[in-house]
Structure 1
Amino acid sequence: MPKVSDLFFKTAIVWLILGIGAGLQMAISGDHSAFPAHAHINLLGWVTSAIFGGYYALNPTKAARKIAMVHYGLYTIGLVVMLPALYLMLAGNTALEPIVAGGSLIVAAAVLVFAFVVFSTGTVRTVSDLSPATR
């Protein structure tokens, strides 16, 4: 399995555990005010990360490109910034709204990077691919 796929799958499992934890916390406390954060943790963290991992596993040529790791890093940073801030913002800390917005913009940029990966040819050129005249 390509490294980027493995990373996306492992990260997805971490988000799943956090999403389940957030759901349990809401159920135990009876306070469901953070349900939008719970939904974002599960959908953007767990589901979307797993889908990205699956896509790269099915497209190893594209997974081998440096931009795939850029996509992983950017998306993960965006989620790490956005999701905890969203959870805390919904708990009453409205001062975190700019942090949520910033994280959301990073996630959006990562999705655009993924769109580029999907729509690009995915050709990886190595030194052995070059003719002797172009080396």
Structure 2
Amino acid sequence: MKEIPTRFLALAAVAALFGMIWGIQMSASHDYTLSPAHGHLNLIGFVTMSIFGTYYALTPRAADRPLAKLHFWIATAAVVLLAPGIVIAITDRGELLAQIGSLLAILSMALFAFTIVRYGVGPFVAAKTDGQEN
């Protein structure tokens, strides 16, 4: 299934683009107040989404599972809520959005860890033991 890797990698590219534009804006204005939010956009939005997309491209049997779609939507919600939530927290307007985004980011990584353990890495098919697939 190419759909899941494409979704993850497309979102990663968009996050990187926004992160770069935001970084240039901060540099031009010499105001780095929001750099923690910028950093999280790059890390959660670009780096982790790229890793997720690459994993699913390399492991199509994991990408074909409904869990992969759930993983995508949870990871997307984490990116969409976390970076703005950090901006809101830094500007003393509340921490709830950042907290929700953080919890979703943790859930997303837990799903990723489960998926790796369950399906391994790569296109191989698990060896059969006693007539049953692992």
TM over 0.5: yes
* Equivalent-residue separation in structure 1 for 2:111 and 2:97 (angstroms): 21
Give the alignment's Cα RMSD to 1 decimal. Answer: 1.4
1:127 aligned partner: none
Deviation for aligned residue 1:110: 1.2
Q: Unpaired segments of 5 or more residues in structure 1?
A: 123-135
* Equivalent-residue separation in structure 2 for 1:121 and 1:39 (angstroms): 31
1:35 aligned partner: 35
| Pairing 1:1-135 to 2, within 5 Å after superposition | 2-90=2-90, 92=91, 94-121=92-119
1:126 aligned partner: none
Moved over 2 A (4+): 87-90
Measured against aligned partners, the alpha-carbon deviations of 1:19-73 in whole angstroms (never above 9, x if no partner) come to 0121011111111111111111111111110111000000001110000110000
Alpha carbons 1:75, 1:110 under 8 Å: kept: yes
Letter in 2 for 1:5: P
The two structures have a TM-score, normalised by structure 1, of: 0.83
Deviation for aligned residue 1:96: 2.9
Q: Unpaired segments of 5 or more residues in structure 2?
A: 121-134
Letter in 2 for 1:99: L
State the aligned residue count: 120
